[in-house]
Structure 1
Amino acid sequence: MSEETTDDAVEFAHQLFDAAREGNTEFVLTAIDQGVPIDLSDAKGNTLLMLAAYHSHGELVAGLVERGADVNRLNDRGQSPLAGAVFKRADDVIRVLLAHGADPGAGSPTARATARMFGIDLIEHVGESARAEEDDKGGEAN
């Protein structure tokens, strides 16, 4: 691979990470659909999912997890996407991550500890996720 090709690839990766921070769902998901690794990470170990979750972009988070992004992958500081979403109080992101198996006990600090610090009830979000899934399937929540 030439130096120019490598530089182009690095520049494209930077554009993807910026797009994840900005919530540019179409750009990021199109790149993933065309073969970019779903758990591509930056120099600090932040995946596209981590960046989208931390910046409260629920639609992008949903698209990434539906394509197989690892909801429990920690960055180099040991932080999880769920803990980042809890820290930002991004309710829609929290619901999506929990519905797709995010572990509230993963990382440091854990999402559970972060939720306690901010007075957030994660169980409530699990319940909301279950009710939303039932509504999507045409069922009725009890």
Structure 2
Amino acid sequence: MTDPADTPALPSPERIQALFLDAARSGHDEAVAALLRAGAAVEVADARGYTALVLASYNGHLSTTALLLDAGARPEGATDAQGNSALMGVAFKGHADIARLLVARGADVNYQNRAGQTAAMMATLFRQEAILDLLIAHGADLSIADTSGNSARTLAMMQGNAALAERLS
């Protein structure tokens, strides 16, 4: 019979969650999968409101993003403390491959954060035209205005990007 003192202690649920979020942020797919099997909650958020899906996608980890979606992470369930969705994060970071994956998995292209901003506005602000084209192709409503009254078009105009503003009219 083995002595219980010889059995290694399992990490606490809190530690599993912290390791899970760190693994997602770093794109360590094997660790993410193992921690999910160990009981990590796929929709858990850190102190700043970042879920594993937000962390993986914001940091450009396509395979980790796919793994988390396969495990049940919801594209719109994943928001940060300001209400930015995973799609909004990749729209300003320029991760077009992850944007395509999130849209294919049902991300709402017209989702608005607490300031009323959309992924199209983020893509416009950061001149991510490939992502903006993807969003438009999937029904992005360019007439949506944020809480300051700005649409994607007016944001382009404010940045002096007349060509993009014209395209968005």
Which range moves more in the overlay, 62-71 or 13-22? Answer: 13-22
Aligned counterpart for 2:115 among listed residues 71, 77, 97? 77
**Structure possessing the higher relative contact order (Cα contacts under 8 Å, 6 or more residues apart):** 1
Matched, 1:114 2:155: yes
Aligned counterpart for 1:23 among listed residues 51, 60, 65? 60
Quick one: structure 1 residues 43 and 94, their matched pair in 2 at CA, closer, same or farther if it must change by over 3 Å? same
| Structure 2 unmatched ranges of 5 or more | 1-11, 18-40
Higher helix proportion: 1
- Tell me what 1:140 maps to: none
In 2, Cα distance between the equivalents of 1:30 and 1:124?
36
Amino acid at match of 1:4: P
Which range moves more in the overlay, 115-124 or 88-97? Answer: 115-124
Matched, 1:32 2:69: yes
Structure (1 or 2) with the larger CA radius of gyration = 2
Secondary structure, aligned partner of 1:45: coil
The aligned runs of 1:43-82 (5 Å cut-off) are 43-82=81-120
| Percent pairwise identity | 31
Amino acid at match of 2:153: R
TM-score w.r.t. the length of structure 1 is 0.75
- Count of matched residue positions in the alignment of Structure 1 and Structure 2: 124
| Structure 1 unmatched ranges of 5 or more | 126-142
- Show structure 1 runs of 4+ deviating over 6 A: none
In 2, Cα distance between the equivalents of 1:106 and 1:76?
14
Amino acid at match of 1:21: Y
